[in-house]
Amino acid sequence: MNENKTVVRLENVGLRYGRGHEVLKDINLQLDAGSFQFLTGPSGAGKTSLLRLLFLSLKPTRGLINMFGQDVASIPPAKMPFIRRRIGVVFQDFRLLDHLTTFQNIALPLRVAGQKEKQYRSDVMDLVSWVGLKDHANAYPPVLSGGEKQRAAIARAVITQPDLLLADEPTGNVDPDLALRLLRLFAELNKLGTTVVIATHDTNLIRNSDYNVMELANGELEYGC
């Protein structure tokens, strides 16, 4: 099963927005299949930017990005969606669709992949219950609390059991207990083979686990313990 041991490889990647300064400089990074990484760094250090490079929503200004053994620059646009389907993303600002219910939001990746509701209904409901949103399954995001939205966003990212999970500050809006519960969800997914990267300020979360930590500072990546 493990023919592609490296899920992500970045070589000398640099990124700047427009004509601004370089937000990321000379990033070299390798994520092995099944690894679990924290990504920390002060606000504005470029964590979100790095994750955006990883889920193909930005192109680097220089350097090489290789995902699942393919050079990203050489992937034709029509193939991009199929790469994205292997990546689950939790956005810092959730990005739920306000006109869909919680259930529909969480089921969205399955739906756009062409599955019928009959096929996925019970799986999605299980996950909805697991993240504690059973009573809100038919509610719309605008009436959910910050933490509830966060859980919905996480559920949407993991529903497909992606090969790579990128979570940007996934515990920023929940209490410490729930944060640890969500971390367990990520850990379990990781055990099933998903490569996980979590960007966070939450030192409590990092302290409570023994995963690798990378730190971004001044646009450069440093590997911690």
Partner 1 sequence: MAASKTGTGLLPRSQMPLKTLMIAMTIMCYLASLSIGALVLINQAVDKWSSDIAGEITIQIRQLDGKDIEERVSKAKTLLDQVKGVTKVEVLDKTAGAKLLEPWLGKSNIISELPIPRLLAVTINRASPPDFGLLEKQLQQAVKGASLDTHRRWQAELTRMGTSLKWLGYSVLMLIVLSAIALVIYASRSALEANRHTVEVLHFVGATDPYIARQVQWQFLLAGLKSGIAGMAMGVLTFLILGLSTATAASSGFVEASYSLLLGAPEVNYISYMLFFLIPLVATLICLIAARLAIMRILQNAI
Binding stretches for ligand ATP (CB under 6 A): 17, 20, 23, 41, 43-49, 92
177: number of Cβ within 10 Å: 8
Q: Tell me which residues in 84-113 interact with Mg ion (CB under 5 A).
A: 92
CB of 140 to ligand ATP, least distance (A): 26
CB of 87 to Mg ion, least distance (A): 17
- Cβ contacts of residue 98 below 8 Å, gap of 6+? 140, 141, 142
Which class for 172: exposed (0-12), middle (13-18), buried (19 or more C-beta within 10 A)? middle
Binding site for partner 1 (CB under 8 A): 55-57, 59, 77-78, 80-82, 84-85, 89, 95-97, 99-100, 108-109, 111-114, 116, 156
> Which residues sit opposite 215 in a β-bridge?
40, 222
CB of 133 to partner 1, least distance (A): 18
| C-alpha–C-alpha distance, residues 106 and 127, integer Å | 9
Nearest residue (CB) to partner 1, 45 versus 51: 51
CB of 154 to ligand ATP, least distance (A): 17
Exposure string over 19-57, b if 16+ CB within 10 A, otherwise e: eeeebbbebebebebbbbbbbbbeeebbbbbbbbbbbbe
Token pair 């509830």 is at which residue? Answer: 148
Taking CB under 5 A as the rule, does residue 48 contact Mg ion?
Answer: yes
Out of Mg ion, ligand ATP, partner 1, none, what residue 76 binds, judged by CB under 5 to 8 A for its kind, is none
- Given the DSSP bridges, would you call strands 36-40 and 195-199 parallel, antiparallel or unpaired? parallel
CB of 197 to ligand ATP, least distance (A): 13
Nearest residue (CB) to partner 1, 1 versus 78: 78
- Given the DSSP bridges, would you call strands 212-217 and 220-223 parallel, antiparallel or unpaired? antiparallel
Nearest residue (CB) to ligand ATP, 101 versus 173: 173
Nearest residue (CB) to ligand ATP, 20 versus 114: 20
CB of 107 to Mg ion, least distance (A): 26
| C-alpha–C-alpha distance, residues 158 and 195, integer Å | 12
Nearest residue (CB) to ligand ATP, 44 versus 224: 44
**Contact footprint for Mg ion (CB under 5 A):** 47-48, 92
